[in-house]
Amino acid sequence: MSQSTTDPRLLRAPPKRPLRLSWSDERVRGIVWQILVVGVVGAIFWWLWGNTVHNLEVRRIATGFGFLWREAGLPIAESVIPYSPTDTYFRALLVGVLNTLKVSVVGIILATILGTLIGIARLSRNWLLAKLAGVYVEVIRDLPLLLQLLFWYAILQGLPGPRQALNPVGGVYLSNRGLLLPWLDWQPAFTWAAVAFLAGLVGTWLYRRHARAKQMQDGQPRRIWPVGLLLLVGVPVAVWAALGAPWTVDWPVLRGFNFRGGLLISPEYFALLLGLVLYTAGFIAEIVRAGILAVPHGQWEAAQALGLRPRSVLRLIVLPQALRVIVPPMTSQYLNLTKNSSLAVAIGFQDIVSIANTTLNQTGQAIEGIAIIMLVYLTISLSISLFMNWYNARIALVER
Amino acid sequence: MGDVTQKIELGTSVAAVPEAPRSPPMATIGPIAWLRANLFSSWLSTAVTLLLLYLVIRWAVGLVDWGIINAVWSVPNNQTQACRELKGTGACWAVITEKHRFILFGTYPYEEQWRPLISILIFIGLFIVSAMRRFWRKELALIWIAALSAIGILMWGGVFGMPYVPQERWGGLVITLILATFGLAFAFPLSILVALGRRSQLPAIKVLCVLYVELIRGVPLISLLFMASVMFPLFLPEGMNIDKLLRAQIAIILFAGAYLAEVVRGGLQALPKGQYEAADALGLSYWQKTGLIVLPQALRLVIPPLVNTFIGFFKDTSLVLIIGIFDLLTAGKTAIIEPAWQGFGVEVYLTVGAIYFVFCFAMSKYSQSLEAELNRHRRR
């Protein structure tokens, strides 16, 4: 005990020395250095700013964000919200942001699933599976993403036209116009079923909390899955059936030289998504593998010795510990995927970078255009960081 | 004692019915045992193995058919009819036979192309020398300066009887290597200063460094490249013009500097606090402490992640394609713009990809072996 008590002299704050105006005083040196560095950086920026203002005047380039409310006149091939070239630049840029989000969100979900599967496959006891997963990771990570995107785009463009479209599964067509999938004709009944599903999600979560609390009291484990199945599947299906069980599938059909109906995934979006998912999955696989390997072998053995089933070992013992290692690097992979989606400009998918680039070419307002790009990405990056930090704090080891 | 054993023996022999001779235990060594343990250990494993084998063999056969058996290796002067007739059943390697000089050297004058070739070899030599641990000392910086100047003289020419070649004519692999290597050579010292600044006690300097790192890391490289190509001319006084390659190079240096700074900061944080305190106790000044005690240890710790970051930059230099600089990938993409060669993108991208892969794979293997070597003392 006596060893842990600190010397009382150390607890006292160090005495304040008066500032000596001499180079040998550390604090004086610090202040001088700071003034010097800030001064130099400030002077450089002042000089650049002065040049910029002068150049803008000479070249008669307008400044300010007034152009946002002018008519854009730029055509956009795919858009989540209704858009026509007569809309404003603001709306065009908004379409770009939504397109960026569309590819990033879908990409993050798919890359996480694929990456986790490959990461686990690399640890498989099956030699062939582990080796193939290893080769995949090594090859995909050693090729530039832009090259992969151009490669996939070249392959998609080299596909036959709609009349000779590849038809791997009934109703799915792959041609140089893109990928066509059968799609449900959206009915109000589906919306209600989706609402019921969301309500079921909340209900399941509440029941799980209730069951946990009860288990804490009497030690009796309760089954959650029957209630979950009922709330998540049974009720939505019942709602859908009660509304007349409408069911029309919109099948893509070849009419003349092109397809009608179905859900069209454009070659640009498909190539971008494919490239981003395959590339990022290679990195995620390594993170998942490292995370699982980071759990000491003794933890597996101890869990087995307690009589847990293999599935429970993974769910209750290994995964919670592995996630702590996995989540921080995973965050930066999600950020990378979002930032890499800007490579869309190279294959003609109109994301925010592509549309802002066209905007700045049309209006000549380069500074505003690039400021918008940077602002959008900084916002997305910060949002992902905040969310993942919140999640990380939730799963982090609670220490004393 | 003997009595008891006898009883048991008797008991067993009575109970045992005459049975068939037992088979010997399964082999645990040898190729068959290996196969059983690693490929056919269970029903599921067997199914997976068979499925994968089927897919691999089918795919490999298809690849050999496409890439070797049905491939066209050369065509007479740009007559790509033979390639077109394959209709995708075979590769048209003729595009590589025809365009490989263009892909490697861009529009560099044809009879002078030995100069970029030697520059590429110098780059490779420089990488190999830097990778060897016995050269990890201060003189390495001199080797770098000498090699980079030699490359500059070779590429520009104008002396020793070599005709002058303007920078606009440079292209291909050498541009990729220049962007990556010069980027690293300038970004590395910058990143050390920024990392030190970020851990500094001086608030103004710390804030500047944090702002720089976080702003750069929050935006994609493309936006910086756009900035370099569109906005940079506005920043300079009238009449002063910096060529496009240099502007892209500056953007890459600023970008790389921010990422490397985070790697270096990791090394600075990993160094035990006692090292800093011991240096202070010896009465060393800040720069003596940093140069003699902190950096030599911290940088050694982060060499493997530094190599990984460098692989990332090597790949990222390909993004200059978007602002129209003639690097390896741009040269490949331009080679197939000509109508006669349109549609053979897959062959060109596979070739260009192979070149990138060789460089990145070598660096990645090197980084892994280095990591194992540097961590050897930690393993039991």
Residue A42: pLDDT band (50, 70, 90) is very high
- Long-range CB pairs of B149-158 (<8 Å, 24+ gap) are B150/B122, B151/B119, B151/B122, B151/B123, B151/B178, B154/B115, B154/B116, B154/B118, B154/B119, B154/B122, B155/B115, B155/B116, B155/B119, B157/B112, B157/B115
Under 8 Å CB pairs connecting chains A and B tally to 153
B chain contacts of residue A33, beta-carbon cutoff 8 Å: 202, 205
Q: Which residues pair with B72 in a beta bridge?
A: B92
Residues of chain B contacting A340 with CB distance shorter than 8 Å: 220
How many CA atoms does the CB half-sphere of B275 hold within 13 Å?
A: 17
Residue B161 has pLDDT above 80, yes or no: no
What would the two tokens of residue B39 be? 């490929």
- Residues of A in Cβ contact (< 8 Å) with B226: 353, 357, 370, 373
Write the CB contacts of B37 (distance below 8 Å, at least 6 apart in sequence). Answer: none
Confidence band for A136, pLDDT divided at 50, 70 and 90 = very high
Nearest by CB: A346 against B38, B321, B349: B321
A175 membership: H or E segment, kind and range: strand A173-175
- What pLDDT digit, counting tens, does each position of B217-255 carry? 888 888 888 888 888 877 877 777 778 888 889 999 999
CB contact under 8 A, B238 and A52: no
* Nearest residue in B to A46, CA atom: B235
- Cβ–Cβ contact B177 with A under 8 A: no
Confidence of residue A305 (pLDDT cuts 50, 70, 90): very high
Tokens of A53: 């203002």
B55 touches chain A (CB under 8 A): no
Q: What are phi and psi of A64, to 5 degrees?
A: 95, 170
Reading the block at residue A378, the tokens are 């900084």
Tell me what pLDDT residue B380 has: 47
Query: Please, what is the end-to-end C-alpha distance for chain B in angstroms?
Result: 46
> Which of A35-49, A329-343, A382-396 is predicted least confidently?
A382-396
> What pLDDT band is residue B191 in, cutting at 50, 70 and 90?
very high
pLDDT of residue A15: 64
pLDDT number for residue A144:
92
Q: What is the pLDDT of residues A102-133, one digit of tens each?
A: 899 999 999 999 999 999 888 888 888 899 99
Give phi and psi for A77, each to the nearest 5: -70, -45
Model confidence, pTM: 0.82
For A40-73, letters b (16+ CB in 10 Å) and e give eeeeeeeeeeebbeebbeeeebeeeeebbeeebe
Distance from CA of A209 to the nearest CA of B (A): 36
Please list, in sequence order, all residues whose beta carbon lies within 8 angstroms of the beta carbon of residue B276, skipping any fewer than 6 positions away.
Answer: B289, B293, B294
Which residues on B lie below 8 Å from A381 (Cβ)?
217-219
> In the predicted model, what is the mean pLDDT of chain A?
83
Strand partners, A180: A173, A264
pLDDT at residue A7 greater than cutoff 70:
no
- For residue B41, the chain A residue with the least C-alpha distance is A126
Instruction: Quick: pLDDT tens for A66-109.
Output: 777 777 777 777 777 787 777 888 888 888 899 999 899 999 99
pLDDT at B81 over 80: no
What mean pLDDT do residues A234-262 have? 77
Would an 8 Å CB–CB cutoff place B59 in contact with chain A?
no
Closest to B155 measured CA to CA, from B105, B102, B182, B116: B116
pLDDT at A287 > cutoff 80: yes
For chain A, the distance separating the N- and C-terminal CA atoms, rounded to the nearest angstrom, is 19
- Residue A115: name the closest of A244, A286, A271 by CA: A286
Q: Which residues in chain B are contacts of A132 at CB distance < 8 A?
A: 52, 56
Rounded-to-integer distance, Cα A393 and Cα A398, Å: 9
**Among B residues 225-254, those touching chain A with beta carbons less than 8 Å apart:** 226-227, 230-231, 233-238
Contacts of B167 by beta carbon, 8 Å cutoff, 6+ apart:
B156, B243, B245
From the candidates B222, B316, B317, B352, which should be mutated to test the interface with A, based on the most A CB atoms within 10 A? B222
Specify whether the CB–CB gap between B255 and B184 falls below 8 A.
Answer: no
Give A228-231's long-range contacts (Cβ < 8 A, gap of 24+).
A228/A200, A228/A204, A231/A199, A231/A200, A231/A201, A231/A203, A231/A204, A231/A207
Nearest by CB to A34, which of B202, B343, B356?
A: B202
Taking the Cβ of residue B333 and every Cβ of chain A, the question of whether any pair is shorter than 8 Å is answered with: yes
Query: Cβ distance B329 to B321 under 8 Å?
Result: yes
Do A129 and B52 lie within an 8 Å CB cutoff?
Answer: yes
In this complex, the residue of A146, A342, A381 whose CB is nearest that of residue B218 is: A381
Whether A139 sits inside 8 A of B364 (CB atoms) is no
Instruction: Answer yes or no: are the C-beta atoms of A279 and A139 closer than 8 Å.
Output: no
Query: What is the average pLDDT across A33-37?
Result: 88
- Is B361 an interface residue toward A (CB < 8 Å)? yes
From chain A, the residues in CB contact with B352 under 8 A are 147
> Is pLDDT at B201 greater than 50 in this prediction?
yes
Give the residue, A88 or B281, on which the prediction is more confident: B281
Instruction: Compute the average pLDDT of residues A231-237.
Output: 85
Q: Is B335 an 8 Å CB contact of chain A?
A: no
Q: A150 and B319 in contact by Cβ < 8 A? A: no
Grouping H, G, I as helix, E, B as strand and the rest as coil, residue A179 is strand
Alpha-carbon distances, residue A229 vs A101, A225, A243 (angstroms) = 32, 6, 21
What whole-number distance in Å separates Cα of residue A30 and Cα of residue A41? 17
